[in-house]
Amino acid sequence: MSSTQLAIYTVYERPRDYPGEFVVRRFLVPPGLPERDLFARGRTLAAVRAALPPGLVCLDPAPGDDPVIREVWL
C-alpha cells in the first residue's frame, strides 16, 4: 500500500467462500495491486477485529450493502 492510498477494511460474517467464519478484506482506494485481499479470518468478530490496524474508525454497513457485511473500518 502506498502512502497515497486509503485502506478500507470490510468485515464479513459467514461469506460464501468462508462459511462459519468472519472475514476481513482490505480494499485500496485508488485501486492498486492488490485491489482486494484477504486480510484476516477467524471464528469470532472479536478475533478479526483484533487483527485490524490500530486507530481505525468503525462504520455501519450502508443501506443496500450485501447482508453479510457486518462493519467497515477506515
* b/e sequence 32-54, b meaning 16+ C-beta within 10 Å: eeeeeeebbbbeeeeebbeebee
Does the pLDDT at position 32 exceed 80?
A: no
The pLDDT value recorded for residue 34 is 56
Q: Is residue 41 part of a domain?
A: yes
If one counts the domains in the chain, the total is 1
Picking from 74, 70, 53, the residue whose alpha carbon sits closest to that of residue 13 is: 70
Q: Is residue 63 part of a domain?
A: yes
Q: Is residue 67 part of a domain?
A: yes
Over residues 14-31, mean pLDDT: 91
The pLDDT value recorded for residue 55 is 96
Over residues 43-52, mean pLDDT: 96
Does the pLDDT at position 69 exceed 60?
A: yes
Over residues 48-71, mean pLDDT: 96
pLDDT band at 36 (very low <50, low <70, confident <90, very high): low
